[in-house]
Structure 1
Amino acid sequence: MSTRGINFLDRWMAEHLPNAMTDDPAAISDLVGQMLRAAKREGIDRDEINEEVDSVFEVIFYAMQHREGSRAEGDESDKTAEVALDLLAGRLVRETGITHEQAEELIKQIGSDWDALLREAYFLE
């Protein structure tokens, strides 16, 4: 994934994913469409985002399923889980200055609620 593509996906997810859990494929597809349209407006080609992420749908689906900090169970793709965690942790590190390990631990405890993550990360500084 290009740096520009991964940074865009990371930023978009942090700023636009709703603070609710869902497994509705139509809702996830709508979010993917919104993200791809936003990327296009910024001149970022879909291929830049898809170079390492097999499925943007799966990454967003995973993020939406784990809004409250629950972890994947069963045979969900480990790569998808790692990418989603790494994207969010990287954004949190850049925004707050905490370590990547601290960011991952916060995400595991809190979930992907961006406002809650920021609030807790600032206490770690």
Structure 2
Amino acid sequence: MSTRGTDFLHKWLSGKLDGLMSADVISVREAVQKLLADAKAVGIGEVEIEEDIGSVYEVVLDAIVHHDEGLASDHPDGGTMKRKPSKSGFNKLLDVDTTLLSAEPLIGLLELETDTGTIELAMNRTLAEQLLFAIVEFLQAGKGDDAPTFAIERSQ
């Protein structure tokens, strides 16, 4: 294990994160390439960084996607930034979309457009499968006119 590689990654991200906030495929890939070039310049290889953290791409993407969470402690209400609730107390789902950020490793965004704004969920293959399982389980509980109109085949 290399704490040197992990320490470099965290210091690099803390100094560069504000400039990476667009989080599209090009900026994440470019950020990873720049990070690895900067690491190489000080004698730290990609393998040394990935020994502890796994995929550099996933870590950079995660840091970009979750960057705003660090701002919560600066919020006037003591760190509990909240969305404006809808009248029913629930968000009304208006539209759903996905954005593929990487095919290998599989990483993307699930974008839920609601009546109170867009909710973006970064996901990998494992999370996408868990979400799909939960939705299928919900749909299979439907009765009468809400009974499922699809069949699931499971391979063993």
TM-score, normalising length: structure 1: 0.53
Contact 1:21 1:66 in 2 (8 A): no
Matches of 1:4 and 1:77, distance apart in 2: 29
Tell which structure's C-alpha radius of gyration is larger: 2
CA distance in 1, matches of 2:32, 2:122: 24
Displacement of 1:5: 0.5
TM-fit CA distance, 1:67: 1.8
Q: Structure 1: any 5+ residue segments left out of the alignment?
A: 79-125
* Matched-pair contact (CA < 8 Å) for 2:5–2:49: yes
Distance 2:6 2:50 in 1: 9
Partner Cα separation in structure 2 for residue 31 and residue 21 of structure 1: 11
Calculate the aligned-residue CA RMSD, in Å. Answer: 2.8
The one-letter amino acid paired with 1:29 is R
Query: Residues 26 and 19 (structure 1 numbering): CA distance in 2 closer, same or farther, change over 3 Å?
Result: closer
Q: Deviations over 1:57-80 (max 9, x none)?
A: 11110111112118x8475589xx
Cα contact 2:39–2:45 (8 A) shared by 1: yes
Q: Which has the higher helix share?
A: 1
Q: How many residues align?
A: 78
The corresponding residue for 1:48 is: 48
The percent of aligned pairs where both chains have the same amino acid is 34
**What is the aligned partner in structure 1 of residue 150 from structure 2?**
none
Q: TM-score, normalising length from structure 2?
A: 0.43
Q: Which has the higher relative contact order, 1 or 2, with Cα contacts under 8 A spaced 6 or more apart?
A: 1
